[in-house]
Amino acid sequence: MTRTMSVTTFDLVAMKSRGEKIVAITAYDALFASLVDAAGVDLILVGDSLASVLCGEETTLSATLEQMTYHGRIVVRGTSRAFVVVDMPFLSYQVSVTEAVRNAGNILKQTGAGAVKLEGGFEVVDAVRAMVRAGIPVMGHLGFTPQAVHALGGHRIQGKDDEAASRLVQEAVALEEAGAFSIVLELMPTPVAARVTDAVSVPTVGIGAGPDCDGQVLVLHDMLGLNEGFSPRFLKTYAELGAAVRDAVGRYAGEVREGSYPAVEHGYER
């Protein structure tokens, strides 16, 4: 099950020091993981966004440890180069530090992934420190944190005033001091993301946080145009596969109904 990933946490940190941008993609299965890995991405995130993208839920809150472990394992199977990070789902790390370490350790044991990601700032610093002490690489996540969507009043940009921006900077520093090797910055003003990025020596990976982060991440299904109901301002689609899928299935359905598929050459001889 375990694969030897060419990219490591040390490589990602070194990329920041050299000014090289980190390319990250969120994917959920072996097939897509193998495609993005072959395309040369540096990091694949197995996001709890699978609850929304794959399962049709409105939020990420329903994602379970079992789901994240399963999808983490199959993504690792399809990966040979990129560093794989698995999201820790809601309530898998908030209850206690001991439970957080145990759940994070089990994710790595059962998936073969390289690291876990968890959301939050000061409130998760103790858990991050304990995980790192146990030998578990941790990626942080600041700004809009989807697991707190209800507490935040919806999908809102974070850090818009000076106090909130300063807190984000302080939380990023605290996460780095606790041992996080990287931090995702989501939905925050470009100048704030730049401040956070400058304040830490570990790489930041942005999504809806402007161009000054050390890297960028998009959900594969979103950037391929498969998730057609999701179109935030920060998203750029690089293909329109939703339309292509509808067209292909429509042509297949038409040929089946008119009897032209399968043709003789598509049959099996006994």
Report the catalytic residues.
186
- CA separation for the pair 76, 113 (Å, rounded): 6
- Give the distance from CA 17 to its chain's centroid: 22
Residue 71 phi/psi, 5-degree rounding, is -70, -35
Residue 140 pairs in a beta bridge with 183
How many whole angstroms separate alpha carbon 26 and alpha carbon 196?
A: 22
Cis preceding-peptide flag for 137 (omega within 30 of 0): no
Q: How far apart are CA 199 and CA 235, in angstroms?
A: 26
Cβ count within 10 A of residue 209: 30
> Within 13 Å and on the Cβ side, how many CA atoms surround 44?
35
Expressed in angstroms, the distance from the first to the final Cα of the chain is 38
